[in-house]
Amino acid sequence: MKKNLLIVFIAVAAICFGFQAKAQTATSGPVTVNINLTDAISITLGASPTVDFNYTTAADYAASKTVTKANHFTVVSNKPYDLTVAATDAFTPAGGPALSIVTVTVPAATANGGTPVPNVPLSTTAAPLVNGSTASTGAVYTVDYTISNPASLLDLAGSTYSTTVTYTATQL
């Protein structure tokens, strides 16, 4: 009986080791992966875009004033771009100061790799502000508004003189 049991055991072992498990594989056909790009650019203004020059004392009329707007706007662009600045109209009410009394500058530290043009006078014609900024997913710009010579504000009636400024980003 032991001999029969040994023969059965050897036969079962031979059968088990005689079969090899083979992994099954499958291959798909080719798969195309596309990345479809469209040129995209946007400007988003910061939380408080209004610029206020306040002349309340005699000393204010004797010195230069700069209003710095940190995080003034953010540009998103998938390509390098230029920035320009323009005022939509002259200061209102009529008879206000010339637009060019206010100059605009982007400090080099926030020019996003571009070349800033210093002291750009406001005009109704778009003027270069930063040339050759690099592509970015969120370039944050600081802008300095300056009235360097307030003499032309003398003899004006007490009022709030306003204009609207527009920034334009153009991809290169």
Domains annotated for the chain, with CATH where assigned, are 41-171 (2.60.40)
User: How many C-alpha atoms does 156 have within 13 Å on its Cβ side?
Assistant: 19
Helices (H), the chain: 2-18
> Quick one: tokens of 11?
């036969």
pLDDT of residue 88: 95
Give mean pLDDT in consecutive 10-residue pieces for the chain, a chain of 172 residues: 57 57 84 94 95 94 95 97 97 93 96 96 98 96 97 92 97 96
Of 159, 141, 164, 166, whose CA–CA distance to 54 is shortest?
159
pLDDT (0 to 100) of residue 24: 87
Q: What is the DSSP letter of 162?
A: B
88/90 Cα distance (integer angstroms): 7
The reported pLDDT for the residue numbered 22 is 72
Q: What is the pLDDT of residue 7?
A: 60
Contact 169, 41 (CB under 8 A): yes
